[in-house]
């Protein structure tokens, strides 16, 4: 029997070897205990909203839930194959590397979203890597199961298309900013987006902000110091507080 690609991926992510029969039995008991939690997670995802419990149960059976430790690169171009990831908990950094080893963060994904290499969806990782920024809980679906899902649930396919269109608009906006805006303007806009409706960013280092902007860490540190000197932000350890959102928005809208 050919090896199960998702099982192989799970062992690579968790660092486990092939399980013994006793370990399989223990894992099966644990999986049954977590079924309700997994169904609750799937029902909370926008692309699966309004599906019945029976439909969610069918999707649950087609997914493998994996816990990935922080700092582990679990998607490598050319090695992982066509799988779809559903992020339950934690943050995932999608990035690419330049020939000289510099990292450019393409996107930081938050919980309740999907990503992966799936040509049928127009969803590609191309030459990017995926790394767990925190301990992540991820559900994985194979290409065959995704195809079956899309053919049987056209509303799910429509929601996935809507999300991919939104990501395309975000990418176009980012390219425009790279071409036409200063580092201060781009950084101010990034801080506002990452803060969302709140006024704090937690868990982002200067290096991670630099990788999101495609600049050196020192460049971001100098820009943050300028914002701090103007009373626009407060800087802590892996924490930034926006003190004057309106002024930052004005900078973000400038060239």
- Residue spans of the domains in the chain: they are 37-178, 181-253
Count CB-CB contacts under 10 A for residue 65.
18
Contact in structure between 207 and 221 (CB atoms under 8 Å): no
Domain 181-253: top CATH class:
mainly alpha
pLDDT digits (tens, 9 = 90+) for 219-254: 999 999 999 999 999 999 889 999 999 999 999 999
Task: Report the SS3 class of residue 202.
Answer: strand
pLDDT tens digit string along 78-121? 776 778 899 999 999 999 888 888 888 888 999 999 998 776 66
User: Can you tell me the distance from the alpha carbon of 115 to that of 183, in angstroms, rounded to the nearest whole number?
Assistant: 28
Average confidence (pLDDT) over 64-89: 87
**In this predicted structure, what is the pLDDT of residue 30?**
46
pLDDT score for 87: 95
Per-residue model confidence as pLDDT tens digits over 23-64:
333 344 444 445 667 888 888 899 998 899 999 999 999 999
Q: 37-178 falls under which CATH superfamily? A: Jelly Rolls (2.60.120.10)
H-type alpha helices, 126-181: 143-152, 154-180
Q: Which residue has the tokens 């990418």?
A: 171
The sign one gets for the Cα dihedral 24, 26, 32, 35 is negative
Nearest to 4 by CA among 62, 59, 73: 62
Phi and psi based region of residue 85 (left: phi greater than 0; alpha: psi -120 to 50; beta: remaining): beta
Q: What percentage of the chain's residues is helix, strand, coil (to nearest 5)? A: 50, 20, 30
Whole-angstrom distance, CA of residue 81 vs CA of residue 6: 9
pTM of the model: 0.76
CA distances (Å), origin 142, targets 24, 43, 63, 99, 104: 21, 19, 8, 31, 28
Alpha-carbon gap, residue 193 to 252, rounded angstroms: 11
């Amino acid at each position: 029997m050919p090896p199960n690609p998702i099982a192989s991926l799970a062992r690579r992510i968790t660092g486990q070897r092939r399980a013994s029969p006793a370990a399989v039995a223990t894992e099966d008991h644990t999986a049954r205990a977590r079924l309700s939690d997994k169904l609750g997670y799937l029902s909370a995802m926008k692309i699966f909203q309004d599906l019945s419990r029976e439909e969610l149960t069918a999707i649950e059976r087609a997914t493998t839930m994996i816990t990935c430790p922080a700092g582990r690169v679990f998607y490598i171009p050319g090695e992982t194959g066509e799988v779809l990831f559903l992020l339950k908990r934690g943050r995932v950094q999608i990035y690419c590397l330049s020939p000289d080893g510099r990292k450019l963060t393409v996107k930081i994904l938050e919980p309740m979203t999907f990503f992966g290499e799936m040509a049928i969806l127009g969803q590609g990782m191309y030459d990017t890597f995926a790394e767990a920024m925190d301990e992540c809980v991820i559900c994985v679906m194979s290409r065959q199961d995704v195809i079956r899902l899309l053919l049987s649930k056209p509303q799910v396919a429509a929601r996935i298309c809507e999300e991919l269109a939104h990501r395309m608009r975000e990418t176009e906006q980012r390219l425009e900013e790279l071409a036409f805006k200063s580092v201060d303007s781009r950084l101010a806009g990034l801080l506002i987006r990452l803060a969302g409706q709140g006024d704090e960013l937690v868990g982002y280092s200067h290096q991670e902000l630099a990788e999101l902007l495609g600049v050196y860490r020192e460049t971001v540190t100098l820009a943050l110091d300028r914002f701090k000197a103007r009373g626009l932000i407060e800087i802590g350890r892996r924490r930034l507080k926006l003190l004057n959102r309106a002024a930052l928005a004005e900078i973000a809208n400038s060239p």
